Copies of this chain bind each other. A is one copy, B any other.
Amino acid sequence: MTPSPVRRRLPPAERREEILKAATELIAASGFKGVTLEAFAAACGMTKAGLLHHFRSREELLIAVLERRDTLDLASVADTLEPAPDAAVARAVMSGFVRRNLAQRSLVQLYTVLSAEALDPAHPAHVYFRTRLSEGRAMLECYLLAWHPRPGQAAVDLLAFLDGLQLNWLRDGGIDFLAQWEAFADRFFAA
Contact = CB atoms under 8 A, between A and B. Distances in A.
Interface stretch (A58-66, A91-99, A158-166): A158-166
A159 B163 CA distance: 11
A159 B153 contact: no
A129 interface: yes
A54 interface: no
Report, as a range, how many residues of chain A touch the other chain.
Answer: 35 or more
Interface in A16-75: 29-31, 33-34
A112 B119 contact: yes
- How many copies the complex holds: the figure is 2
Given A33-B31, A33-B33, A115 B171 contact: yes
Contacts of A29: 120
Interface in A136-168: 153, 156-157, 159-165, 167-168
A133 interface: yes
Interface of A: 29-31, 33-34, 109, 112-113, 115-117, 119-120, 122, 129-130, 133-134, 153, 156-157, 159-165, 167-168, 170-172, 175, 180, 183-184, 187, 191
